[in-house]
């Protein structure tokens, strides 16, 4: 059995292999090679390659945050994005559960065969989902919802696009949900859905429900095993599509909760001596000869050298430090304004 990687997600060999395959697939994509497309590829190639911030505790570097490209298809960014969404939704769902709200998990599937094109399947699925949310049954029974679309692949059955909803809803009969889904897929021009194409179950554990409802659009294992031409097809079929959607009510509540939590966390961090500094700020201060900033960069390099996957990043940071020290030698000990330095 394969052991679980317990280092930085950027250095997980499975993630690296999957990202390299995605980059190669995008390079061979039928999409126009526009300026935006080139920027996306460049971002994927450089994802995690340089520091963006330092986390300090009692004045010493305890963690180095790395850049994220934010592109769909990047396994690292997809994983981190899904985790952030689940974290926000988890607070909202827990809050509503305490108020006595009922939650259900609705899974909507469609028939598919090994040779079906991903583009066609995804188009039918998204069109049917749009119609499903516009039905009177959905509007009358569902108070709030979040939806995730997944497009897994297997050698036996090919692409299997489907959707998961976690909903705060009334006692909505399962037979009605199944009937509506069959009708919506028919009106969307998709294949005939069988009654078992819609699954409904209650949610008692918010964490498990959210993990299923808002998972990952593509599984890392699939990205590493899917034939190359089908990977190209998958990425092209899901371009410019929103694979995770959250209703407006929950979106607003998540934003308010996160703002409150950020303010509370900032206050606790300051009380504990924890601080956050952008790498650009530290580098700018180092250029002026700020010894405290140079010390932070040395500490970050030493921290990165402890991990096998981050030694190259540490080496690059040390080369940068050497360059900054050379450029700031005449100003050593002073900041750009010649004033007092900030102590960490």
Q: What is the three-class DSSP state of 319?
A: helix
Of the listed ranges 33-37, 50-54, 76-80, 174-178, the one predicted with least confidence: 33-37
pLDDT-based confidence at residue 136 (cuts at 50, 70, 90): very high
Q: What is the CATH number of domain 81-219+239-258?
A: 3.30.70
Instruction: Name the percent of the chain in helix, strand, coil, to the closest 5.
Output: 55, 15, 30
**Averaged pLDDT score across all residues of the chain:** 84
Given pLDDT bands bounded at 50, 70 and 90, which one contains residue 76?
very high
Three-state DSSP class for residue 82: helix
pLDDT band, very low/low/confident/very high, at 177 (cuts 50, 70, 90): very high
pLDDT digits (tens, 9 = 90+) for 302-334: 999 988 788 888 998 888 888 766 655 444 444
Q: Which residues of 129-153 are buried (b: 16+ CB within 10 A; e: fewer)?
A: bebbbebeebeebbebbbbbbbbbb
Domain chopping of the chain, boundaries: 81-219+239-258
Label residues 199-208 b or e (16+ Cβ within 10 Å = b). ebeebeebee
pTM: 0.81
């Amino acid at each position: 059995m394969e052991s679980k990687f317990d280092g930085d997600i950027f250095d997980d060999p499975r993630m690296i292999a999957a990202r390299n395959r995605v980059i190669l697939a995008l390079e061979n994509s039928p999409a126009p090679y526009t300026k935006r497309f080139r920027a996306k590829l460049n971002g994927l190639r450089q994802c995690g390659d340089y520091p963006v911030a330092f986390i300090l505790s009692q004045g010493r570097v305890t963690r180095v945050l790395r850049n994220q490209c934010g592109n769909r298809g990047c396994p690292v960014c997809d994983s981190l994005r899904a985790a952030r969404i689940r974290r926000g939704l988890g607070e909202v769902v827990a809050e509503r559960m305490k108020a006595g709200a009922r939650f259900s998990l609705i899974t909507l599937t469609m028939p598919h065969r090994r040779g079906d094109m991903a583009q066609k399947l995804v188009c039918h699925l998204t069109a049917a989902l749009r119609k499903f949310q516009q039905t009177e049954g959905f509007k009358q029974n569902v108070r709030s919802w979040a939806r995730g679309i997944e497009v897994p692949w297997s050698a036996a059955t090919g692409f299997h696009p489907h959707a998961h909803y976690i909903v705060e809803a009334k006692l909505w009969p399962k037979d009605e949900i199944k009937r509506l889904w069959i009708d919506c897929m028919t009106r969307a021009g998709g294949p005939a859905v069988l009654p078992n194409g819609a699954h409904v179950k209650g949610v008692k554990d918010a964490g498990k429900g959210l993990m299923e409802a808002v998972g990952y659009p593509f599984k890392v294992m699939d990205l590493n095993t899917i034939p190359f031409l089908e990977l190209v097809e998958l990425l092209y079929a899901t371009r410019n599509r929103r694979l995770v959607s959250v209703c407006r009510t929950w979106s607003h509540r998540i934003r308010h909760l996160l703002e409150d939590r950020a303010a509370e966390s900032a206050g606790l961090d300051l009380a504990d001596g924890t601080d956050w500094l952008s790498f650009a700020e530290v580098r700018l201060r180092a250029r002026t000869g700020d010894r405290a900033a140079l010390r932070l960069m040395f500490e970050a390099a030493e921290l990165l050298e402890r991990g096998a996957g981050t030694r190259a990043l540490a080496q690059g940071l040390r080369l940068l430090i050497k360059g900054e020290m050379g450029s700031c030698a005449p100003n050593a000990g002073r900041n750009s304004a010649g004033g007092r330095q900030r102590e960490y």
